[in-house]
Copies of this chain bind each other. A is one copy, B any other.
Amino acid sequence: LLHSFNSEDIKMSAEIARLCKASLQSAMVGTDENNIQSGKDFYKFFFTNYPDLRIYFKGAEKFTADDVQKSERFEKQGQRLLLGVHILAETYANQEVFKAYVRETINRHRIYKMDPALWLAFFTVFNGYLATKTQLDDATKNAWAELGKVFNEEAQTHLKNSGLPHA
């Protein structure tokens, strides 16, 4: 295949981006108190529902939702996480930029020696969180599933090309 994207693909990725971006309006980044809270809320949801994954957060392995709420570290981390997901949605319609951001994200997480299966699992976690903020219709859920699938494909390819464990 000389061209991996045709005009149908481009239209579809634009529609997926539109749906994901619309749903993220309920979890906006920013410096206002409600934006800061949205970021903390992700980690409160994450640590409450997936306590085993706290092992990746050195010093916070036993954090409860209350600990997250009071934490300056997770105030910052919450904004970083939300920003990362917003960037995924904002770039999805431009697949080469999206995939470059996936690779950069993988590079930045190399030091944490994550289980490679967690890259796909992340989108289940994030959608669980997002569903606490807004109603996600089926089209939006499918859009996130597709974005997560494309993210994961590029992530695993890049892990492999980098000589790292991959799923």
Q: How many copies of this chain sit in the oligomeric assembly?
A: 2
Does residue A106 face the partner (Cβ distance < 8 Å to B)?
Answer: no
What is the predominant secondary structure among interface residues of chain A facing chain B? Answer: helix
A165 vs chain B, min Cβ distance (A): 20
Chain A interface residues (CB < 8 Å from chain B): 21, 28-31, 35, 79-80, 82-83, 86-87, 90-91, 94, 96-97, 99-101, 103-104
A44 vs chain B, min Cβ distance (A): 20
In the complex, are the beta carbons of B96 and A28 less than 8 A apart? yes
Within 8 Å CB of A96, what residues of B? 28-30, 35
Within 8 Å CB of A86, what residues of B? 91, 94, 97, 100
The 9 closest A-B pairs by CB, nearest first: A29-B100, A86-B97, A83-B100, A90-B91, A90-B90, A30-B96, A28-B96, A83-B104, A87-B87
